[in-house]
Structure 1
């Protein structure tokens, strides 16, 4: 009787395994419309992927546009804060006996004074300092460079109000004025 009991156990196991499998597993071969089903599934996957790529592209375009707009707005804001193009600018000019010329645009800012100086006619290789002179006799260095042939334009700044400026000079290494605008 032992072989008969074993066969019954095997049959019970087979029945349990068959209950776990879906009915489609008992079919011989793929269903007759398997190619159509695969084609529809792949089409759906491709369409979803295409939509995701387009969505990402739109998000990137909007983000880029916002970044560019922010940079431009920041530039305009900073330019206004620095007094660029403001009506409070004063232009000082001067010429030395040696033929050096200087024009300085002076702009009052929140932190002091902003200068843009254009200098021409200095000796090539001369060490130069841009110095702001106040009405009460103080001096403030605003920039330095080494002169070369031709016109030089440089920007500088000093911790003084534009209304206190008496003049601006270019001085050499020995602090002798080369050209003064005032």
Structure 2
């Protein structure tokens, strides 16, 4: 009665005669599945690398573009009797105005301040620097609307104007 419950494979003496063939087939299947997984990972890595390279190139292209000029920006220019030149781009922002001034011809070593003059007589210091030989470009800001600007000056440490644009 006990023998009736055992499967027929339990009565075999030793491994089946085709055991080596079965082991080789199993190992071959495992090797093939591993090889396919490695190839699949390689393809995924290659595709990911292509997308990353495309993103880097697109980002570099985007970063290399010149910024659009603001149509609402005003360009003020001025020249002094001493030969100093200044061009200032004045742009309205949410909190006031932004200035980008290019100044040339100021004496080397001169302490300079960029000053905004309003129509109602107020003044705002927008930036400062020490002049050097050649052209300098300076960015600054002031808490005033661009429409209220009467002019922009570069002044020395005695507050005497070196060049005014307006």
TM-score bracket for this pair, using the shorter chain length: 0.7 to 0.9
Q: Is the helix fraction higher in 1 or 2? A: 1
In the TM superposition, residue 60 of structure 1 has moved relative to its aligned partner by: 6.0
TM-score normalised by L of structure 1: 0.70
Q: Which runs of 5+ in 2 are unaligned?
A: 1-6
Superimposed CA distance per residue, residues 52-71 of structure 1 (whole angstroms, 9 cap, x where no aligned partner): 34335545655776788789
Aligned length: 158
Superimposed CA distance per residue, residues 5-54 of structure 1 (whole angstroms, 9 cap, x where no aligned partner): xxxxxxxxxxxxxx9xx899942895225334323311211212321343
Name the SS for the 1:87 alignment partner. coil
Structure 1 pair 23/63, CA: closer, same or farther in 2 (3 Å)?
Answer: farther
Residue 124 (structure 2) pairs with residue 124 (structure 1): no
Where do 4+ consecutive residues of structure 1 move more than 6 Å?
22-25, 66-74
Query: Any residues of structure 2 matched to 1:17-32 within 5 Å, and which?
Result: 26-27=14-15, 31-32=20-21
**Aligned counterpart, 1:47:** 36
Name the SS for the 1:52 alignment partner. helix
Residue 26 (structure 2) pairs with residue 37 (structure 1): yes
Superimposed CA distance per residue, residues 77-97 of structure 1 (whole angstroms, 9 cap, x where no aligned partner): xx6xxxx51211111111111
**Aligned counterpart, 1:162:** 146
- Higher Rg of the two aligned structures: 1
TM-score normalised by L of structure 2: 0.76
